[in-house]
Amino acid sequence: MELLAVPMASSGGGSGFTLLLPLILIVGMIWFMSRTQRKQRQKQADTVAALSPGTKVVTTSGMVGVVEEVDDEYVTLEISDGILVQFVKAAVGRVLPDDAGDDELTADAAADEPSEAPVEDRVTDEVPERDTVDVPETGDPKAQDKKLPPTHTEN
């Protein structure tokens, strides 16, 4: 019996590229993400640099206020009439346009107002009566004497 050695067919120069492709994709994704974060940091820095008294802002924690004073590290916001709060400049999330905040407040106030329609004009669906069961702790003589299962395991 004779064994013959047959050389295996190679795929050529393409195998090196297929090994480098995942590495190239990973490096590209990291570069893209860092570029996006860099743009966000720059936008935040521009927002903080443009702060001036009278600007309406929202902090990163959701506090809405009007800028009263800007220092090197801190910004003082008026959150209500006569109530001043000091924040770190980095805590300013975004600047609100002057007219957008007023529109949001009027829209919220309109949504909270009750309907002016008379009670008899409102549509009401009749709710069918349901059977009720009295709880034993009520002291009602008609209450069921059935013992309820324990809510915890007893030792």
pLDDT at position 32: 92
pTM above 0.75, yes or no: no
User: How confident is the model over 112-128, as pLDDT tens digits?
Assistant: 555 555 555 555 566 55
Q: Which helix (H) or strand (E) holds 79?
A: strand 74-80
- Answer for the pair 96, 141: CB distance below 8 angstroms, yes or no: no
pLDDT at position 145: 58
Q: Give dist(CA 66, CA 75) in Å, integer.
A: 10
Spatial strand order in the sheet of 74-80: 83-88, 74-80, 64-70, 56-59, 92-96
Residue ranges of the chain whose pLDDT lies below 50: 101, 103-111
pLDDT at position 38: 93
pLDDT at position 45: 86
Instruction: State the CB neighbour count (10 A cutoff) for residue 87.
Output: 19
